[in-house]
Amino acid sequence: MSHIHLPDGVLPVWLWVPGFIAAMLVAAVLFRFTKKEALSRRFPLLGMMAAAMVLGASVEVVPIAYHVNLTVISGILLGPSLIFLATFVVNVILALFGHGGITVIGLNTLILSIEGVFGYFLFHLFWQVSKRLILTTFIATFLALVFSTFAMIGVVSLGTSHYEELIHHEGEGIFEFHLLKDKGPHHEEETKKTEIHLGRFIAIVLPLGFIGWILEGVITALITRYIHRLRPDLLHLEKESQ
Amino acid sequence: MKEGERIIEVDCITHVYPDMTKVQICGLDFIVNQGERVSILGSNGCGKTTLLKHLLGILVPKDGRVSVFGINPGKDFSKIREKVGVVMQDVDEQILGPTVYDDILFAPLNYGMGRKKADWMAKEVIERLNLEPIQKKIVNYLSGGEKKKVALAGALVMEPDLLILDEPFTGLDPLSRRDLIQILNELNKEKGITFITTLHEVDLVPEMTDILYLMHGHGDLSERGRPDEIFGKFKDLESFNLEEPTLTKLFKGLKKEGLDFGDPLRIDEAIQSIKKHWKDKK
Amino acid sequence: MKEGERIIEVDCITHVYPDMTKVQICGLDFIVNQGERVSILGSNGCGKTTLLKHLLGILVPKDGRVSVFGINPGKDFSKIREKVGVVMQDVDEQILGPTVYDDILFAPLNYGMGRKKADWMAKEVIERLNLEPIQKKIVNYLSGGEKKKVALAGALVMEPDLLILDEPFTGLDPLSRRDLIQILNELNKEKGITFITTLHEVDLVPEMTDILYLMHGHGDLSERGRPDEIFGKFKDLESFNLEEPTLTKLFKGLKKEGLDFGDPLRIDEAIQSIKKHWKDKK
Amino acid sequence: MIQLSYLDYIAVEGKRFLHRFSPTLKIIGMVLVLLGIVTLRSLPGLLLLYGTLVALFFITRIPIKIFSLTFYPLIFAVLFIFISGFQIHFLLLIFLKVLCGSTGVVLLLATTPYPMIFSVLGRILPDSFVTALFLTYRSVFILLNILEETQHALYLRGGFQWRHPWRSLINISNAFGHLMIKGIDASEKMYESMLLRGFKNKIFYRGK
Ligand SMILES: Nc1ncnc2c1ncn2[C@@H]1O[C@H](COP(=O)(O)OP(=O)(O)OP(=O)(O)O)[C@@H](O)[C@H]1O
Ligand SMILES: Nc1ncnc2c1ncn2[C@@H]1O[C@H](COP(=O)(O)OP(=O)(O)OP(=O)(O)O)[C@@H](O)[C@H]1O
Ligand SMILES: [Mg+2]
Ligand SMILES: [Mg+2]
């Protein structure tokens, strides 16, 4: 459970709208600064890795959303900027299949791309140090997933005050008109005294996540080994090994 | 398993694909006896592959009965898997690599042969199929025909009792076809291996077939017989999207012109027949 | 483009695949003139597909020169791609879907035809290839031969000047093969379309070939000529992993037995020749 | 996952009124549904919305099999049970919102072939993004096909047996790597053939 697809309607507007904008901005910047030919030459790879992620994300291993993500391996193969675009595409398609929310595509992309981007950098960092492919891949994957899980928890907890509202303001009119609520830093203190139990949430997510991180790490390492054997050029390791 | 014993029986099965394409393999029962060389001819999309997939338990029929070695493959295929060698039509995904040699070792190792025995078996099949030059290559980067050969090697290596070959000749060059036919015929003669082949190369049928099935429309098995019977008697092979073998066409054409040399199906027979008639004319 | 003008020239190219497999297409130059029907025969893995990929700019040679319609396809293929229709050996990835009809529309729409024109072109090719029954099917669900036909339709729909077909007959049933040959010959006659085909079905060569190339070893183009010349004169087609067509074998066999009926390559010729000799004998 | 290609099939082959609607209208409808999800905060309102969507689903005769897809995101919503400490009202609210979202989207996809959705999106999004969407979508099916056939190969050649767990594990991880490489090669071929067939960084599709 390295990553969860946030669904529609759970998070407050003031959270997902900026998420959307941020993701769009990043994507736009990346599109602008990636060379056109480089992009079109690697389009097929982008498409296929995105497809692999879509498939991985839709094949359940264990009922509670355990699934392989393949984000880290995709990140290693695509590089940090393309993986972001790929993640965006993945979230759009998953949203179309009903696997994640449409409104939260932006946030989901930001969270998920952490895995790919961090995975890529960690992988190359550790490779410099150890030169042991399996170990390097495993650690990079594991850490990247830890980061993204905490990012997800962070995002969910940012919505705390919104959940409170939903709980307390029941039946107070059909529509919510005040879309952009001004939320100061004080909402974190509130957490403790209301019925919101973020602690429990985290207590569930982290242990489950831990197993997921290890599984994903092992799978990614094995796949990387295989790719290293057949198409070492795809991993872009030559420069560094010399 | 005795020669001539019935090993496959398919009894009017119906399969409906998720998009509602219905394939009904009916008409004649599909029956195969031990030691027979069986071929299936039929137009594109008529259901040959669908039939074979039922024999392997990859598809499970909605209606009807399939029995292979007395077992229902939809349920218990793993019990007979060791006896069955398969080459599917789409050979690409059948090869698991990474190298050709690894791929050939795949089945022996999985069935618990020791490394030594497995090596020995692999060597033998590599020699049979002339794969030495490519045995170290990575399977993803073989040419189309080379892949086919590797898949064949993977199926032959366990010396199965039953070989199921879905269009094994497509993509092979003529000499490799000839070699393959020879290998199959040898295996059939020496070890009594049964094989079921689908193909489109009518000219090859007479050389490797005891029993020929013709399939029609959407799964209609409508003819069963020896190749010479079927090619001889049939006027409308075209309704099967088939043609007669070149020699049949030639000799039927000659007959129309008033020259009756009989119905030879193989080149040597044809030469003998013409020669004999020529001499007799004197 | 005038009939007979030289449109393709390949001059001793070398390609090295990432795993160091070296394919050197040399020996004779590969030359194609406008309006010719060219076939390439050769054993598995000899480099036929590699050659075609160079013509399409998919591979770029390490050494040597390729020119198609006077352009270097490795650099500027997009300038000529409207004139070139292609069916690659591996047909699966060539079909973009979602339905057969959509797939056929792909090229016309991308080349900016209006919707109406595109529809009309698609209709025509669907009729030509008898694809009506499957035109609404989702491409993911086609049988092997059906996929081949759809890919062909996708290549033919733009009525290209040059058709490049990598083993178009594999997986087609005999009647579809016959139909395809007829379509190609018609297109060649009516519109002067040039086509380059690789294939393994020697029996089909005489019916659709003006110029035949034989390829050897790892890319060695060693023979060029009319099919009857090449099949007639050659003793050792086996060194190309080739066979003679059935009729050539028959008539050579007869010659050995002292019966010389000439070297017909097509059935009607063969019948006439035998008939004539038979009559003359009186 | 088999349901995905089935979904495609329903979208292309379906002949109900929703299938015949213009894709643009359907997408606008979807946006309205989303607006509802975001702003509605009363149970009856959401129930009404959900009821409408489900009714549409069944009037359109989309098979039950597809309907099960809409429950997937509940898996995540369940985690909110722990956040809220079992507040029934809150949970119902969240669950309904989630269900409305997924039902709406699946309804859209089951009545509109994907190229049409993409081509409508293409009016607002950059071309290269739409191309990436398209390539990904087609790649999913190619990959699915490879996955299925690889499974068959493992099965037919004894690649997975409980008797030999260690070998089976190695085989499966090799198969995964194999899948990746195959997929990458396939995508390259697919792209080549798109270029050969006139693709110039923008995909054209027929509307209905
Ligand atoms: N997965 C599938 N989903 C839906 N329809 C299918 C599927 N596979 C095959 N079909 C359809 O079932 C029919 C029989 O297909 P099958 O593959 O058995 O034909 P075949 O006789 O092997 O043809 P070919 O000679 O072209 O290989 C065809 O009409 C085909 O379109
Ligand atoms: N991508 C690749 N990487 C490495 N080697 C390759 C690759 N593609 C082809 N080869 C090798 O190059 C040689 C020529 O291959 P090619 O595909 O051109 O053969 P072909 O003549 O088309 O054969 P076939 O009749 O079997 O299709 C073969 O030995 C093959 O193994
Ligand atoms: Mg088939
Ligand atoms: Mg080839």
Does residue B3 contact residue B192 with C-beta atoms inside 8 Å? Answer: yes
Query: Each residue of A21-52: b (16+ CB within 10 Å) or e?
Result: eebeebbeebeeebeeeebbebbbbbbbbbbb
**Distance from the CA of D146 to the center of ligand 1, in angstroms?**
17
Among residues D79, D112, D145, which one ends one of the domains? D112
C-alpha angle with apex C38: C131 to C172, nearest 5 degrees?
30
- The answer on pLDDT for A179 being more than 80 is no
Q: Are residues D105 and D130 in the same domain?
A: no
- The answer on pLDDT for A206 being more than 90 is no
- Which of these, B167, B150, B155, lies nearest to B90 by C-alpha position? B167
- The answer on pLDDT for C79 being more than 80 is yes
Q: How far is CA B265 from the centre of its chain?
A: 19
Q: Are residues D85 and D5 in the same domain?
A: yes
C52 interaction partners in chain D (CB closer than 8 Å) = none
Helices (H), chain B: 48-55, 73-80, 100-110, 115-128, 144-156, 174-191, 227-233, 246-256, 267-281
Give the ligand whose atoms come closest to the C-alpha of residue B216: 1
Cis peptide before C98 (omega within 30 of 0): yes
Does residue B19 contact residue C138 with C-beta atoms inside 8 Å? Answer: yes
Q: Please report the ipTM that was assigned to this predicted complex.
A: 0.81
- The answer on pLDDT for C38 being more than 90 is yes
Cis peptide before C174 (omega within 30 of 0): no
Q: Does A226 touch chain B (CB under 8 A)?
A: yes
Q: Are residues D29 and D107 in the same domain?
A: yes
**CA distance to partner chain D, nearest, from residue B259 (Å):** 51
Residue A169: closest C-alpha in chain D: D41
CB pairs under 8 A between A and D: 240
From B142, B152, B172, the mutation candidate for ligand 2 (largest count of ligand atoms within 8 A of CB) is: B142
Right CATH number for B6-242 from 3.30.9.10, 3.40.50.800, 3.40.50.720, 3.40.50.300?
3.40.50.300
- Which of these, A6, A205, A154, lies nearest to D82 by C-alpha position? A205
pLDDT for position C32: 93
C-alpha angle with apex C67: C64 to C69, nearest 5 degrees?
180
Record: contact B174-C202, CB cut-off 8 A: yes
Residue C277: closest C-alpha in chain B: B278
D50 falls within a domain = yes
Strand-pairing partners, residue B13, are B25
- By Cβ distance, the residue of B45, B241, B250 closest to C175 is B241
The Cα–Cα gap between B139 and B100 comes to 6
- Which of these, D107, B211, D128, lies nearest to A85 by C-alpha position? D128
The Cα–Cα gap between C60 and C54 comes to 6
Record: contact D174-B96, CB cut-off 8 A: yes
Q: Are residues D106 and D194 in the same domain?
A: no
Cβ of C42 less than 6 Å from ligand 2: yes
D2 falls within a domain = yes
pLDDT band at C14 (very low <50, low <70, confident <90, very high): very high
Q: What class does CATH assign to A13-169+185-241?
A: mainly alpha
pTM of the model: 0.84
Provide the sign of the torsion angle of the four alpha carbons C149, C151, C156, C158, taken in this order.
positive
The Cα–Cα gap between C157 and D197 comes to 10
Does residue C151 contact residue C72 with C-beta atoms inside 8 Å? Answer: no
Ligand 2 atom closest to the Cα of residue C19 is 4
Q: Are residues D130 and D104 in the same domain?
A: no
pLDDT for position C220: 86
What average pLDDT values come out for chain B (282 residues) when binned by 10 residues? 80 84 87 93 90 92 90 87 87 82 88 87 90 88 84 89 92 86 90 92 90 87 86 72 82 84 84 84 67
Q: Are residues D137 and D105 in the same domain?
A: no
* Residue B111 vs residues B56, B114, C135, D159, D171: alpha-carbon distances, Å: 18, 9, 44, 9, 13
* Residue B188 vs residues B3, B120, B151, B193, C53: alpha-carbon distances, Å: 11, 21, 19, 5, 40
Q: How many CB atoms lie within 10 A of CB D129?
A: 20
For atom 17 of ligand 2, the residue with the nearest CA is B143
Selected residue of B110, B125, B152, B162 to mutate for chain D interface (largest D Cβ count, 10 A): B110
Helix (H, G, I), strand (E, B) or coil at B222: strand
Structure token digits, residue A25: 């901005």
pLDDT for position A196: 63
Does residue C211 contact residue C38 with C-beta atoms inside 8 Å? Answer: yes
Cβ of C25 less than 6 Å from ligand 2: no
**Distance from the CA of C142 to the center of ligand 1, in angstroms?**
6
Q: How many CB atoms lie within 10 A of CB A179?
A: 11
User: Interface partners of A (3+ CB pairs, < 8 Å)?
Assistant: B, D
Q: How large a percentage of chain D has pLDDT more than 90? A: 0
**CA distance to partner chain B, nearest, from residue D130 (Å):** 27
Q: List Cβ neighbours of C145 (8 Å cut-off, separation of 6 or more).
A: B43, B44, B45, B200, C171, C172, C173, C176
* DSSP codes, D160-208: --TTSHHHHHHHHHHHHHHHHHHHHHHHHHHHHHHHHTT--SS------
pLDDT for position A167: 63
Record: contact C107-D195, CB cut-off 8 A: no
Q: How far is CA A197 from the centre of its chain?
A: 23
Selected residue of C95, C166, C170 to mutate for chain B interface (largest B Cβ count, 10 A): C170
Residue B137: closest C-alpha in chain A: A230
**CA distance to partner chain D, nearest, from residue C23 (Å):** 20
Cβ of B48 less than 6 Å from ligand 1: yes
Cβ of C94 less than 6 Å from ligand 2: no
Provide the sign of the torsion angle of the four alpha carbons C256, C261, C263, C269, taken in this order.
negative
For atom 6 of ligand 2, the residue with the nearest CA is B141
Give the ligand whose atoms come closest to the C-alpha of residue B88: 3
pLDDT for position A171: 44
Domain residues for the domain of D138 are 126-208
pLDDT in tens, C206-245: 889 999 999 888 888 888 889 888 887 766 677 777 778 8
Q: Are residues D7 and D107 in the same domain?
A: yes
Q: How many CB atoms lie within 10 A of CB D127?
A: 12
Structure token digits, residue A31: 């599109």
* Residue B179 vs residues A97, B123, B149, B250: alpha-carbon distances, Å: 50, 17, 11, 26
Q: Are residues D2 and D93 in the same domain?
A: yes
Domain layout of chain C by residue ranges: 6-242, 245-282
Structure token digits, residue B261: 């040399």
pLDDT for position B209: 93
C138 interaction partners in chain B (CB closer than 8 Å) = 19
Q: How many CB atoms lie within 10 A of CB A167?
A: 18
Q: How large a percentage of chain C has pLDDT more than 70? A: 97
D31 falls within a domain = yes
Number of domains in chain D: 2
Give the pLDDT of chain D (208 residues) as one tens digit per residue. Answer: 556 777 777 877 777 777 777 888 888 888 898 888 888 778 888 888 889 888 988 888 888 777 877 887 777 777 666 666 666 777 788 888 888 888 888 888 888 887 788 878 878 877 778 888 888 888 888 888 888 888 888 888 877 777 777 777 778 878 888 888 888 888 888 888 888 888 776 666 654 4
Structure token digits, residue D140: 């999913």
Does residue A109 contact residue A50 with C-beta atoms inside 8 Å? Answer: no
Q: Residue A207, CB half-sphere, CA atoms under 13 Å: how many?
A: 5
- The answer on pLDDT for A178 being more than 70 is no
pLDDT for position A195: 57
D121 falls within a domain = no
Among residues D112, D136, D167, which one ends one of the domains? D112
The Cα–Cα gap between A150 and A118 comes to 13
D117 falls within a domain = no
Q: How large a percentage of chain C has pLDDT more than 90? A: 30
**CA distance to partner chain B, nearest, from residue C139 (Å):** 11
